[in-house]
Amino acid sequence: MKTDQLINMLSTNVEPVKSGQLKKTLILTLVVGGLAAFFMMLATVGLRAGAGGWFHSGFMILKLVFMLILISAGTALLAKLIRPGQNGRKLYTVIFLSFLAVGLAGICALALEPPTAWDRMIMGTEWTTCVFCIPLFAILPFATLIWGLRRGAPTNLRRTGAIAGLVAGALGAVAYAFHCPDDSLPFIALWYGVMVALCAWIGAMLGPRLLRW
């Protein structure tokens, strides 16, 4: 085939392109994925029971703030990663710093308490549920995100996959926070932090296969 033939074909009846469509798709996938994770939580472990219900303390706010920072920085990054030739270095710093801040806060909280309390603070009452649920709740948001990202043109598939995993993991963690009966900084730093990071790693592994175009 001659390239001229192809150009002829591509430039016959060219449709105008609406701008902003990509951003809308991305936001739609986030909302659908987030809702899916939330309903998955309701259908499995359910809302936190007991005094105060799911909105129990400042720890709930802390969990949500930590995750919402990751979700917003991650989404802003994804919006750049699906446009060839763009990068967002500052956003990686935001993500790194929020992990670091929560990690340090966890260590400080431990330092203020006697070592006998550490076991309860770190392991909480349901760390195994947390470890299981965050990745589980992240599956559907990850799927919707990948679907949305495939409408863009990611050129760094591993990195795009990793950030998609991070955002999906954070959405899963938000859903889990509505159940999570454990209120301690080290618990959030360790289990929330590690599980979201794990989701990012899995995303990085799957990215090249799922996002290729």
User: Is residue 209 near other proteins by the rule CB under 8 A?
Assistant: no
Q: Is residue 15 near other proteins by the rule CB under 8 A?
A: yes
The region of 9-17, 31-39, 105-113, 140-148 touching other proteins under the rule CB under 8 A is: 9-17
Residue 7 is a binding residue for other proteins (CB under 8 A): yes
Q: Per-residue contact track with other proteins, 125 to 164, x per CB under 8 A? A: ---------------------------xx-x---------
Least CB distance to other proteins at residue 19 (A): 7
Using CB under 8 A, which of 6, 42, 65, 108 touches other proteins?
6
Q: Which of 188, 61, 184 lies closest to 120, judged by CA?
A: 184
Decide whether 11 or 116 has the Cβ nearer to other proteins.
Answer: 11
With CB under 8 A as the contact rule, the residue among 13, 50, 57, 119 that binds other proteins is 13
Smallest separation (angstroms) from other proteins to the CB of 89: 15
Q: Which stretch binds other proteins (CB under 8 A): 5-13, 33-41, 69-77, 170-178?
A: 5-13
- Contact yes or no for 140/36 (Cβ under 8 A): yes
Q: Which is nearer to other proteins, 19 or 116 (CB)?
A: 19
**3-class DSSP string for the chain:** CCHHHHHHHHCCCCCCCCCCHHHHHHHHHHHHHHHHHHHHHHHCCCCCCCCCCCCCCHHHHHHHHHHHHHHHHHHHHHHHHCCCCCCCHHHHHHHHHHHHHHHHHHHHHHHCCCHHHHHHHHHCCCHHHHHHHHHHHHHHHHHHHHHHHCCCCCCCHHHHHHHHHHHHHHHHHHHHHCCCCCCCHHHHHHHHHHHHHHHHHHHHHHHHHHHCC
Q: What is the footprint of other proteins within residues 67-96 (CB under 8 A)?
A: 82-86
Query: 57, 89, 114, 212: which one contacts other proteins (CB under 8 A)?
Result: 212
Q: Which residues form the interface with other proteins (CB under 8 A)? A: 1-19, 21-22, 82-86, 152-153, 155, 212-213
